[in-house]
């Protein structure tokens, strides 16, 4: 039986948000939902606009990596935000938290975060987040939060991710309703974002989910790298690594590999 296409009617019936997802852009197939959302932002779409596609042919993750989104299997979505500049670093904490909360809501499976925002189940990646922003001279930014969640497909069919990725179907043993999962994700996102806007930081909850802390890591960024132990995260989300030399290094943005 062929996989079922995303059911917009079922999704709208499940949606419980005030603004997130109330303006919706849907395409059966697209290069990237980030491009759809960027165009919507340029044309004045409101905060909370969501772009979704049943298939991405040129999906991308962090650091230029490809993101696999076969037809009618996974969730590929981008949320348009217009946050105050003081919330910019918070967004990178809020989005993975919302994914974790939604996964637990729908499947009752705990998900964790590998710094800064990869979502994992039992050490295998189940969701990735790509954040792009445009900061003008005003106090408000345009932020695009792209999220890919592996839902109803077998990562083992793809050699490049077979040993590192998982999906909700692989973890639960059955298909997961994508419409319900997206509705839950947007509700969780909206609630955490609203609390952050009102002054309640997401930092503590994000930190509690980090599987990176206390682990040996290799961290790299443009112009540098360090091997050591991930000791903590600072208030802005930077990863504090105690290098093998004994010196502490704060990684603001980069790539981290967990060591055995």
Among residues 247, 214, 255, the alpha carbon closest in space to that of 233 is found at 214
List pLDDT tens digits, range 151-185.
998 888 888 888 889 999 999 999 999 999 999 99
- Higher-pLDDT residue of 141 and 15 is 15
Average pLDDT over residues 139-148: 88
Q: Are 209 and 252 in contact (CB under 8 A)?
A: no
Provide the pLDDT for residue 63. Answer: 47
CA distance 13 to 36: 23
User: Above 70 in pLDDT, residue 31?
Assistant: yes
Q: Which domains does the chain have, with CATH numbers?
A: 8-208 (3.30.930.10), 212-258 (2.30.30.100)
Strands 75-81 and 112-114: unpaired
User: Above 80 in pLDDT, residue 107?
Assistant: yes
Reduce the secondary structure of 139-165 to three states and give it as a string: CEEEEEEEEEECCCCCHHHCCCCCCCE
CA distance 88 to 256: 21
Average pLDDT over residues 104-110: 97
Q: Which long-range contacts (CB under 8 A, 24 or more apart) does 208-215 make?
A: 209/96, 209/97, 209/100, 209/111, 209/112, 209/113, 210/112, 210/113, 210/114, 210/115, 211/112, 211/113, 211/114, 211/120, 211/123, 211/258, 212/113, 212/114, 212/115, 212/239, 212/256, 212/258, 215/258, 215/259
Mean pLDDT of the chain: 90
Average pLDDT over residues 69-76: 84
Write the burial class of residue 1 (CB in 10 Å: 0-12 exposed, 13-18 middle, 19+ buried): exposed
Provide the pLDDT for residue 65. Answer: 55
Among residues 90, 67, 95, the alpha carbon closest in space to that of 79 is found at 95
Among residues 217, 219, 239, 237, the alpha carbon closest in space to that of 229 is found at 217
Confidence of residue 197 (pLDDT cuts 50, 70, 90): very high
Provide the pLDDT for residue 71. Answer: 79
Average pLDDT over residues 93-119: 96
């Amino acid at each position: 039986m062929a996989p079922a296409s995303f059911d917009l009617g079922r999704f709208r019936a499940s949606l419980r948000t005030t603004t997130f997802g109330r303006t919706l852009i849907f395409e059966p197939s697209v290069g990237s939902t980030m491009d759809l959302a960027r165009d919507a932002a340029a044309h004045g779409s409101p905060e909370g606009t969501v772009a979704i596609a049943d298939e991405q042919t040129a999906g991308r993750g962090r650091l230029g990596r490809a993101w696999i989104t076969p037809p009618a299997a996974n969730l590929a979505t981008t949320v348009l935000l217009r946050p105050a500049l003081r919330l910019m670093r918070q967004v990178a904490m809020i989005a993975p938290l919302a994914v974790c909360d939604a996964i637990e809501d729908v499947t009752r499976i705990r998900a964790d975060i590998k710094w800064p925002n990869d979502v994992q189940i039992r050490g295998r990646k189940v969701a990735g987040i790509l954040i792009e922003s445009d900061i003008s001279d005003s106090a408000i930014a345009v932020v695009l939060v792209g999220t890919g969640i592996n839902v109803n497909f077998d990562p083992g069919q793809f050699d490049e991710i077979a040993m590192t990725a998982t999906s909700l179907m692989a973890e639960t043993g059955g298909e997961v309703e994508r419409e319900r999962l997206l509705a839950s994700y947007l509700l969780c996102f909206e609630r955490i974002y609203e609390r952050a806007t009102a002054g309640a930081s997401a930092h503590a909850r994000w930190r509690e989910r980090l599987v990176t802390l206390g682990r040996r890591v290799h961290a790299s960024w443009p112009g540098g790298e360090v091997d050591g132990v991930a000791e903590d995260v600072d208030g802005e989300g930077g990863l504090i690594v105690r290098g093998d030399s004994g010196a502490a290094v704060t990684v603001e943005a980069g790539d981290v590999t967990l060591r055995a």
